[in-house]
Amino acid sequence: MIVLLGQTAMAQSSNSSNRTDPRVSVGVRAGYNDGAGIEGYGIVSDFAHGFPFAVRLGLSRTAVQPGSAWDARRVFINNNTNGDPEKKGRTLDVKFDLLAPVSLLSLERTYAYAGVRRSSFSGNFRFVGGNEDFDVTSTQWGLGAGLESYFPISSRVDFVINGGLDHFFAGTLTGHDTSYSPDGEDVNPREDYTYSDADAAISQPKWEPVLMLGFGYRF
């Protein structure tokens, strides 16, 4: 009985030595992401023994230029030219990344990251005095990669610098009762307009440089 108890304790000790306690950090940062943007994120590392990457899930919101108001009106509504155009746009992005430590100059904590993106774009076009107010929307998958460095302010708080590049694939553009698809499956297209015309009129995400500064907190 004593021998069995001893062997069990040794096995439990050995198993516990192979386990790692997950490390969690959260943060917020702001800067440029094809427009003024803000992002919140959470990172988990050392959650699986031998897994070499940390994982991060982020959500960002960015104010963007939506495109040409006059071209959007022609492609999605009509050829009228009355009214004074006003426009605004935004993207909401969900980001999932894997992070790995790298050596860069003399920086102590720098990570390379890469992952997938899911973007929701919305552009609003309003013609004051022209009786037109409509949205053009799209959702897109994308990929991203970059580098970020952490500089400790205290034992738990870091100053974070992030730089990278995101690329988004073509998505269906929908506005009013019309949509244009990259595969040519358009719905109620105006005149002879095609997806290339809609894509030229609307500035949905494509190549998006990222430069953000923020703060992280380590639990």
pLDDT tens track for 124-155:
999 999 889 999 999 999 999 999 999 999 99
Domain contains 115: yes
CATH code for position 72: 2.40.160.70
Question: Maximum Cα–Cα distance for the chain, whole Å?
Answer: 93
84 falls within a domain = yes
pTM: 0.86
In a domain? residue 187: yes
Mean pLDDT of 11-17: 40
Query: Which among 147, 123, 119 has a CA at the least distance from the CA of 135?
Result: 123
Please indicate, yes or no, if residue 26 is contained in any of the structural domains.
yes
Whether residue 4 lies inside any domain: the answer is no
| Confidence (pLDDT) at 107 | 87
Q: Is residue 9 part of a domain?
A: no
Residue 15 lies in a domain: no
Looking at the chain, which runs of residues are DSSP E strands? Answer: 23-32, 36-45, 54-64, 84-104, 107-128, 132-152, 157-168, 173-175, 178-180, 207-218
* Host domain of residue 78: 21-218
Cβ atoms of residues 201 and 71 within 8 Å: yes
Number of domains in the chain: 1
Query: 130 in a domain, yes or no?
Result: yes
pLDDT by residue (tens digit) across 23-48? 999 999 999 999 999 999 999 998 88
